[in-house]
Amino acid sequence: MAFVGPSGSGKSTLMQLVLGLRRPQRGHILLDGRDLSKLDMRTFRTFVSIVSSR
């Protein structure tokens, strides 16, 4: 999966939400049907890589 878009489109905010660095103000974020707030984020983050184009 990749998040691609112009500057200011929310890519960094989306990544912060997905990585659990920021909590959603409303609603839930689900990964394979499981609420991210219920996952062990330390373990989850070991499976995520970030590649910057700059």
Pair of tokens at residue 4? 């691609």
Q: How far apart are CA 25 and CA 47, in angstroms?
A: 25
Domain limits, the chain: 1-54
pTM above 0.75, yes or no: no
CA atoms within 13 A on the CB side of 28: 10
Q: What is the pLDDT of residue 54?
A: 66
What pLDDT does residue 2 have? 81
Q: What's the CA gap between 14 and 49, in Å, rounded?
A: 14
Instruction: Tell me the per-residue pLDDT of 2-40, one tens digit each, with 9 for 90 and over.
Output: 888 899 999 989 989 988 899 999 999 998 899 998 999
Distance of CA 29 to the CA centre of its chain: 9
